[in-house]
């Protein structure tokens, strides 16, 4: 299993997400190696604040989320930083360098989210910036990166509820990336939003998976989400 993609932080994080999503074991030496590699990107040029920096090509053209949606510019830098934090948390490496880098990154982003929540019109500790970035924060929360996880997620889900478009989707929130986070939440509010989106989820679960890795993931995700409805 190839985890480290030497010229792409997003592909490296994606490989960690792929392994954990499908339940593939990662050996302790591999966990340590990839954790140290990700950690070395903390605060590097191009990072979103003190998070983890992608490479110039990723800054120029953006990244694909785990579920296939493409994001660019500041959203790509921010979400890649959140997903890198999440990957380090999932890897559970006891490497001192990786732990220190994760702690620095988390202290910075928690402070940013708290400051944003203290200013109108947002005033919500469960959202940040935009819909796409908010889901990135939720994914980090779900991996254990933030304090007060249930409170933050419930506040965020209230915002998501207010963004329903009446057609089974949400304004400003990328559909499958949002479903990916919702399917990982053990909250009634999350199940309510999954039921709201159930027509598209059920349709995807009933069709054969496409050939691309993102299509395969969306299909597997839809089948998992159906069980939560």
Does residue 40 fall inside a structural domain? yes
Question: Cα(80)–Cα(63) distance, rounded to whole angstroms?
Answer: 8
pLDDT at 139 over 80: yes
SS3 of residue 92 by DSSP: coil
Does residue 3 fall inside a structural domain? no
Does residue 31 fall inside a structural domain? yes
- C-alpha torsion sign, points 80, 81, 83, 84: positive
Does residue 4 fall inside a structural domain? no
Does residue 2 fall inside a structural domain? no
Domain that holds residue 39: 9-226
Tell me the HSE value of 82 on the side-chain side, using a 13 A CA sphere. 27
In this prediction, residue 122 carries a pLDDT of 62
In this prediction, residue 119 carries a pLDDT of 76
| Residue matched to tokens 């997903």 | 83
User: Total domain count for the chain?
Assistant: 1
Kindly tell me the burial class for residue 53, based on how many C-beta atoms sit within 10 Å of its own C-beta (0-12, 13-18, 19 or more).
buried
In this structure, are residues 174 and 65 in contact, taking their beta carbons and an 8 Å threshold?
yes
Neighbouring CB atoms inside 10 A of 164's CB total 15
**pTM of full prediction above 0.75:** yes
Percent of the chain with pLDDT over 90: 93
63-64 and 70-71: which strand pairing? antiparallel
Closest CA to 182 of 207, 199, 161: 161
The token pair that represents 119 in the structure block? 């200013």
List, for residues 37-49, the tens digit of each pLDDT value: 999 999 999 999 9
pLDDT bin (cut points 50, 70, 90) of residue 227 is very high
Does residue 73 fall inside a structural domain? yes
Does residue 1 fall inside a structural domain? no
Write down the mean pLDDT value for the chain.
96
């Amino acid at each position: 299993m190839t985890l480290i993609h030497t010229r792409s932080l997003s592909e490296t994080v994606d490989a960690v997400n792929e392994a954990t999503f499908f339940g593939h074991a990662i050996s302790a030496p591999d966990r340590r190696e990839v954790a140290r590699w990700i950690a070395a990107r903390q605060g590097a040029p191009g990072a979103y604040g003190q998070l983890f920096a992608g490479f110039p090509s990723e800054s120029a053209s953006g990244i694909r989320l785990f579920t296939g949606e493409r994001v660019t510019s500041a959203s790509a830098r921010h979400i890649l930083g959140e997903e890198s934090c999440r990957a380090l948390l999932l890897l559970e490496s006891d490497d001192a360098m990786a732990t220190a880098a994760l702690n620095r990154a988390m202290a910075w982003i928690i402070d940013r989210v708290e400051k944003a929540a203290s200013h109108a019109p947002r005033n919500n500790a469960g959202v940040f910036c935009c819909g796409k970035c908010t889901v990135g924060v939720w994914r980090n929360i779900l991996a254990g990166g933030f304090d007060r996880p249930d409170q933050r997620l419930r506040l965020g889900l209230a915002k998501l509820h207010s963004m329903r478009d009446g057609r089974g989707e949400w304004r400003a929130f990328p559909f499958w990336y949002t479903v990916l986070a919702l399917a990982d939440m053990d909250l009634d509010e999350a199940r309510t939003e999954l039921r709201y989106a159930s027509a598209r989820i059920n349709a995807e679960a009933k069709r054969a998976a496409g050939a691309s890795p993102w299509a395969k993931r969306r299909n597997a995700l839809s089948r998992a989400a159906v069980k939560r409805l």
